Each structure stands twice: as structure tokens, then as C-alpha cells.
Amino acid sequence: MLEITKENIEKAIEKARITKPKVKVLEFRRYAVTNKTTGANYEVSFTKIGGKKFADCTCPATKICYHIGASIGAHIVLAEQMHTATR
Ligand SMILES: [Zn+2]
């Protein structure tokens, strides 16, 4: 599990903007990310522990990768909707 920080997620989001992978929601906190050029498909999941955010990706990267960067945009929107819905 990799901890998400403001610095590493900003870099990942920036890379995702260039790479523009396809993000599909599997369920809340789980996403499938496909590289449109190579067709490579990876799964990203998010966890929150004690106020800290963590992410996992099935790709070989050992840091916060652009798959996570691509997913977090969709994740933030969904999490806000869930939050609003439960109020
Ligand atoms: Zn990845």
C-alpha cells in the first residue's frame, strides 16, 4: 500500500493528464485503468486509514503511478456524492 501525499498525487495526476488512460469504476474505491495506447489494464483501489489515504495499483510501479492519478479524479467526485447522499 502506498500513502498518497499532496506532492506524489499531483505528479501522478499530471502524468495522467498527458497519458489520458481510460478509467472505469468497478465499485466505490475500485477502478480499472486502461492505457489506450498499449491496452494494458490495471486495477487501482483506495483505502483510508486514520485520516491518511492509501492507494494500491496492480501495475509494476512501486510509487504512486499515473493509474492512481487518473483514478483519483473519479474517486473524489464519487466520494463527494456518497458523502452528500448519506447526509
Ligand atoms: Zn499503476
pLDDT of residue 85 exceeding 80, the answer is no
Find the 85 Cα to ligand 1 centroid distance in Å.
30
Find the 43 Cα to ligand 1 centroid distance in Å.
8
The rounded distance, in Å, linking the Cα atoms of 14 and 1 is 21
Find the 37 Cα to ligand 1 centroid distance in Å.
15
Structure confidence at residue 86 as a pLDDT band (50, 70, 90): low
Find the 2 Cα to ligand 1 centroid distance in Å.
11
Grid cell of 37 as nine digits: 495506447
Please state the pTM of the whole predicted model.
0.87
Strand 30-34's sheet: what is its strand order?
2-3, 52-57, 41-49, 30-34, 22-27
Closest alpha carbon to 66 in 2, 10, 3, 25? 10
Predicted local confidence at residue 73, as pLDDT: 81
**Tens-digit pLDDT profile for residues 75-84:** 877 778 887 8
Tell which wins on pLDDT, 34 or 73: 34
